[in-house]
Amino acid sequence: MWKNVGYYNGEIGPLEEMKVPMNDRALYFGDGIYEATCVANRVPFAIEDHLDRMYNSLRLLEIPFKMEREQVKAELQKVIDAAEDSPIHFLYWQVSRGVAPRNHVFPGGEVEPALMAYVKPHTMKPMDVPYKLISLEDNRFKLCNIKTLNLIPSVLANQRAAEAGCDEAVLHRGSRVTECAHSNISILKDGVLRTAPTDELILPGITRKHLLALAKEHGIPVLEEPFSMVELMNADEIIVTSSSALCMMVESIDGIPVGGKDPQHIQLLQDAYLAKFQQETAK
């Protein structure tokens, strides 16, 4: 058992000591896709949703990953089971197009995609401590619906947020809000939950999907329509969702106070989300 566990194509060991082949296409091109979720009681949360999205990203990038879903689950479980106890673990995995000499064109069919994973202890942020955001122009490419390893615009956006003492960066294309650097964003206005539709401008977040389903279950109407920066600033509440932090409320954007006008609905959604997480990861 190790505190941080690494996995590469069947090999498991302490994360800090694992090595990957220099010709893995993830290193040169970010040529691969990834997934991540929290784990409690050694049960990865919403694993089926994450695997659905994983196979969809692979299909869209034409990566011929042959491993069946049950086998992927079994490999990931080995990594989870090799980790020392922790109340919550974070599970990350990625599939690259494989190991081949650098060439933009896909390698031949004999090259197998490479599966990499790690598990580390994780602390979830308390959902009653609101996020501070900065806003930035969304300068990413238009394949945001694919969870690719190409994350430089998000890395730079998060760095700008950290430098400003903030938790996340909300991105917009012109006036239209898309999502955050590594989270989706939704608003509550007049009792309606509104979030951008799942087109090529946003990642179809698993937490976003669950949030919408929970809202409907609790009688909160849902609108999947884009909203503007002005609508964001005037929202009753703002909710930032991601697998690592679940549902966070927001108290400021670019230093300007926002939200805080519909505490009942936000509390209801956060409680419902946490209950779902706890139920589905129970022993």
Q: Nearest distance from residue 32's CB to ligand PLP, in Å?
A: 14
> What does DSSP say about strands 32-40 and 168-173: parallel, antiparallel, or unpaired?
unpaired
Q: Nearest distance from residue 101's CB to ligand PLP, in Å?
A: 30
Angular region, 273: left φ>0, alpha ψ -120 to 50, beta rest: alpha
Q: Which is nearer to ligand PLP, 182 or 265 (CB)?
A: 182
Torsion angle, alpha carbons of 87, 155, 134, 237, to 10: -40
Residue 264 in tokens:
């009942």
Quote the CA–CA distance of 92 and 76 in Å, as a whole number: 9
> What does DSSP say about strands 222-224 and 88-96: parallel, antiparallel, or unpaired?
unpaired
Q: Nearest distance from residue 19's CB to ligand PLP, in Å?
A: 25
Q: Which is nearer to ligand PLP, 206 or 239 (CB)?
A: 206
Active-site residue flag, 283 = no
Burial of 279 (0-12, 13-18, 19+ CB in 10 A): exposed
Q: Which is nearer to ligand PLP, 94 or 184 (CB)?
A: 184
Q: Answer for the pair 159, 189: CB distance below 8 angstroms, yes or no.
A: no
Q: Nearest distance from residue 107's CB to ligand PLP, in Å?
A: 27
Q: Which is nearer to ligand PLP, 157 or 220 (CB)?
A: 157
From residue 249, give the alpha-carbon distance in Å to each of 9, 56, 61, 64, 182: 38, 30, 33, 39, 15
Note every long-range contact of 106-114, with CB atoms under 8 Å and residues 24 or more positions apart, other chains counting: 106/62, 107/25, 109/64, 112/66, 113/32, 113/58, 113/63, 113/64, 113/65, 113/66, 114/8, 114/9, 114/20, 114/24, 114/26, 114/32
Binding site for ligand PLP (CB under 6 A): 179, 182-184, 203, 205-208, 241-243
Q: Nearest distance from residue 13's CB to ligand PLP, in Å?
A: 26
Q: Which is nearer to ligand PLP, 72 or 99 (CB)?
A: 72
Angular region, 254: left φ>0, alpha ψ -120 to 50, beta rest: left
Residue 44 in tokens:
């990865």
Q: Nearest distance from residue 109's CB to ligand PLP, in Å?
A: 30
Q: Which is nearer to ligand PLP, 100 or 215 (CB)?
A: 215
User: Exactly one of 3, 142, 147, 276 is catalytic; which is it?
Assistant: 147
* Residues noted as catalytic: 147
